[in-house]
Amino acid sequence: MRHLILTAALLLPAASAQMSVSDIPALPPGATAQAPAATPAAPAAPAVQAGPVAKVEIQDVEITSPVSAGTTPTVASDDVGEVMIPVLATDKDGNSVAGVAVTWEVKNTGKNPVYVISVAVDGKATDIAATIAPDETVKYETMTGSDGTVTLLLNATASTAAALTLTTSAGEVKNLRDAKQTIDWIGQ
Residue 99, pLDDT score: 96
For the structural domain made of 55-186, what CATH number should be given?
2.60.40.10
pTM: 0.72
Q: Any idea of the CA torsion for 122, 128, 132, 138, to the nearest 10 degrees? A: -70
Residue 170, pLDDT score: 86
Alpha carbon distance 59, 49 (integer Å)? 22
The predicted-structure confidence for 10-42, as pLDDT tens digits, reads as follows 344 444 445 444 555 555 555 554 544 555 554
Q: In this model, does residue 166 exceed pLDDT 80?
A: yes
The predicted-structure confidence for 70-107, as pLDDT tens digits, reads as follows 899 999 999 999 999 999 999 999 999 999 999 999 99
* pLDDT, mean of residues 153-172: 96
Q: Which of 50, 64, 53, 55 is nearest to 174 (CA)?
A: 55
